[in-house]
Amino acid sequence: MATLRIGVLGCAGRMGQALVRAVGAAPDADIGGGTEMEGSQWLGRDVGEPAGVGTTGVAITDDAEALFKACDVVLDFTVPAALAGHAKLAGKTGTAYVVGTTGSSLAEDRAVLTAAKRAAIVRSANMSVGVNLLIALTRRAAAALSLNWDAEVLEMHHRHKVDAPSGTAKALGHAIAEARDQVHDKVAVTSREGVTGERRRGEIGYATLRGGMVVGDHTVIFASERERIELTHRAASRDIFAEGAVAAARWVRGKAPGLYGMADVLGLKD
């Protein structure tokens, strides 16, 4: 099969740099291009420069549409405000699209669903193999335990993260709710303060920590009156997310239009 040409939106950001390194390390993929916002100091410079991987021969531009047209797959870990526009370009060009952006609105989510009618899209709050296994294990544990087991999701990230709870934490909470036949938004408790009263049976609680340069820690706790089960994943490097995104790009090439997840990529579907 021909070498996979992968484009990276926001290629000079922390995650963008990790994506460029991961593509560069893949024997079956090449960097097809990279973008940054208008006015960025990186415009016109080589895509490999911010990531420290040397010269790729491809210049950074602010033309996202040209990137979609030039690549087999485009990776997007940018910001929610850019998501709808990028999704529209995926639908317009039919280019496969891998999305790791979190914190999006309902309108932005709808834009991705609309684009998936014309392009193959892999979307996940977390591209890590380990995290997706954690989600699968969480779903299985929740299905096996009654509502007498209280469910809590604890997450910690670096001080620069702008959304809370994290997209991965929400994915874990949704997995619990689905396994219990609950409507997530009716039982989710994202914060507690003051005199809250007793914890209601069946609640899914969230706790959020921010500090330092923590890449991402997630723990799911199931607690009964006599015992406690904890499932934990700790990320030591952003490279695990980037490597998962490249695996998703490899998998999604040639797929029919539709919205897929990392469970599809990794074969973790029930």
pLDDT in tens, 6-28: 999 999 999 999 999 999 999 99
Catalytic residue among 157, 174, 218, 233: 157
High-pLDDT (> 90) share of the chain, %: 93
Whether 184 is catalytic is no
Residues 213 and 252 in one domain: no
Residues 213 and 242 in one domain: no
Domain count, the chain: 2
Answer yes or no: is pLDDT of 270 > 70: no
| Amino acid residing at 180 | R
Residues 106 and 160 in one domain: no
Distance between CA atoms of residues 13 and 103, nearest Å: 17
Whether 69 is catalytic is no
Closest CA to 168 of 110, 90, 220: 220
Name the phi and psi angles at 163, rounded to 5: -115, 150
Residues 174 and 211 in one domain: yes
Extended beta strands in the chain, E state:
4-9, 29-35, 60-61, 73-76, 96-99, 120-123, 150-157, 188-189, 204-210, 216-223, 228-235, 258-260
Check residue 242 and give its pLDDT. 95
Q: Can you name the residues that pair with 73 across neighbouring β-strands?
A: 6, 96
Query: How does DSSP classify residue 61?
Result: E
CATH number of the domain to which 58 belongs: 3.40.50.720
Catalytic residue among 69, 92, 161, 255: 161
Check residue 109 and give its pLDDT. 96
Task: Give the mean pLDDT of 229-250.
Answer: 95
Residues 20 and 108 in one domain: yes
Closest CA to 117 of 131, 137, 97: 97
Question: Three-state DSSP class for 234?
Answer: strand
The verdict on pTM exceeding 0.85 is no
Q: Give the residue numbers spanning the domain of 229.
A: 129-235
Report strand pairing: 216-223 vs 96-99.
Answer: unpaired
Distance between CA atoms of residues 180 and 221, nearest Å: 15
Check residue 126 and give its pLDDT. 86
Q: How many alpha carbons fall within 13 Å on the CB side of residue 255?
A: 23
